[in-house]
Amino acid sequence: MHWSGNLECDEGDQTMLIVMTHDATDSQIDAVEAAVQAMGLRAEPIPGSLRTAIGVLGNQGYVDDTTIRELPGVREVIHVSKPYKLVSRDFHPESTIVDVAGVKIGDGEHPVMMAGPCSIESEDQIFAAAEQVKAAGAGILRGGAFKPRTGPHSFQGLGLEGLELLRRAGAASGLPVVTEVMRIDQLDDVCRCADMVQIGARNMQNFDLLKEVGRIAKPVLLKRGMSATIEEFLSAAEYLLSEGNGQVVLCERGIRTFEKATRNTLDLSVVPLIREMSHLPIIVDPSHATGKRSLVPVMSRAALVAGAHGIMVEVHPDPDKALCDGAQSLSGDDFNKFMNETNHLIDFLKN
């Protein structure tokens, strides 16, 4: 195609290029221009020797192309802006640092270790876990009160009672806490008890929940959906940012593939890729990614080498008796050993 038009715009300003078919008529081109203008945008025709293209200018965000795409004479619509503009590095080149009650994630210093049980099961269990992970050097305590279990007969979590226990265990150990919210009507209680709100893999595309969580003043841990592409993952984060919440940490937790030997397939290449594409910090959860306790330490280290800003690991005081995800949970001793072995690597990576 021969471009003869002059399309001057600020970087990031041109949002779309509409390529017309070679036999598009003038009235079809006019109709496309009118449709663009009706959307409140500027249409800039770029006549070529074979076909005309129309640049679309004047919008800082992503433009929904559904009405344009169907118009007669339109061959192709090329998006210049990404659908996840606010989370992209093009828009915001400096890395975002997320502050979870004083613990900084993404500051390029120490990776943050989040650890704790899959589910809060009892006062004794969560207090013991908190003490163990704190002693080993974790920065944030995790624990689920509302559990998204695959089947209705599995332990569903302690709900409000669990939230309260987590809040108290966090306060007693001096660790900020992160826990999952599954529904909008749980959000007030979760915000009252937690320092960071987790959106789980199964809710990554619960858009109403994302919008609501985008309006709160708490940092968010957004886990990748188990079959979400990177574009879908970043677009989910875009919902949070577009509602005003920029304190978002992404979490790779493995994706569904044909492989059954591990619970999921840990897609570690997304760590450096997301670091290139987005300014948001990214952490890795090797517990849900592998489903196997023996793989958790080594895959955590692999994640750190790949550039993860932190790790989320399931730790239970007595994993064999865990009500949820015991097979992938480390004991307090295992976690302590893992941390001791990993601190050398962290020092090495910093230098």
Question: By C-beta, is 69 or 256 nearer to Mn ion?
Answer: 256
Closest approach, Cβ 295 to ligand PEP, in A, equals 16
Closest approach, Cβ 228 to ligand PEP, in A, equals 11
Question: By C-beta, is 224 or 279 nearer to ligand PEP?
Answer: 224
Closest approach, Cβ 264 to ligand PEP, in A, equals 8
What is the distance between the alpha carbons of residues 148 and 182, in angstroms, rounded to a whole number? 7
Closest approach, Cβ 318 to Mn ion, in A, equals 16
State how far the alpha carbon of 105 is from the alpha carbons of 99, 118, 240, 301, 311, in Å. 6, 21, 17, 17, 10
- Residue ranges that bind ligand PEP, judged by CB under 6 A: 118, 144, 148, 180, 200-202, 223, 253, 285, 288
Per-position DSSP letters for 183-246, written without gaps between them: SGGGHHHHHHH-SEEEE-GGGTT-HHHHHHHTTSSS-EEEEPPTT--HHHHHHHHHHHHHTT--
What is the distance between the alpha carbons of residues 190 and 166, in angstroms, rounded to a whole number? 10
- Residue ranges that bind Mn ion, judged by CB under 5 A: 118, 325
Question: By C-beta, is 79 or 202 nearer to ligand PEP?
Answer: 202
Closest approach, Cβ 224 to ligand PEP, in A, equals 8
Largest CA distance in the chain: 76
Question: By C-beta, is 223 or 279 nearer to ligand PEP?
Answer: 223
The DSSP element (H or E) to which 329 belongs, if any, is none
Q: Which of ligand PEP, Mn ion, none does residue 201 bind to, with CB < 5 to 8 Å depending on kind?
A: ligand PEP
Q: Which of ligand PEP, Mn ion, none does residue 293 bind to, with CB < 5 to 8 Å depending on kind?
A: none
What DSSP state is assigned to residue 328? G
Closest chain position to ligand PEP (CB): 200
Closest chain position to Mn ion (CB): 118
What is the distance between the alpha carbons of residues 214 and 190, in angstroms, rounded to a whole number? 14
* Residues present in the chain in total: 351
Question: By C-beta, is 201 or 296 nearer to ligand PEP?
Answer: 201
Closest approach, Cβ 288 to ligand PEP, in A, equals 4
What DSSP state is assigned to residue 326? G
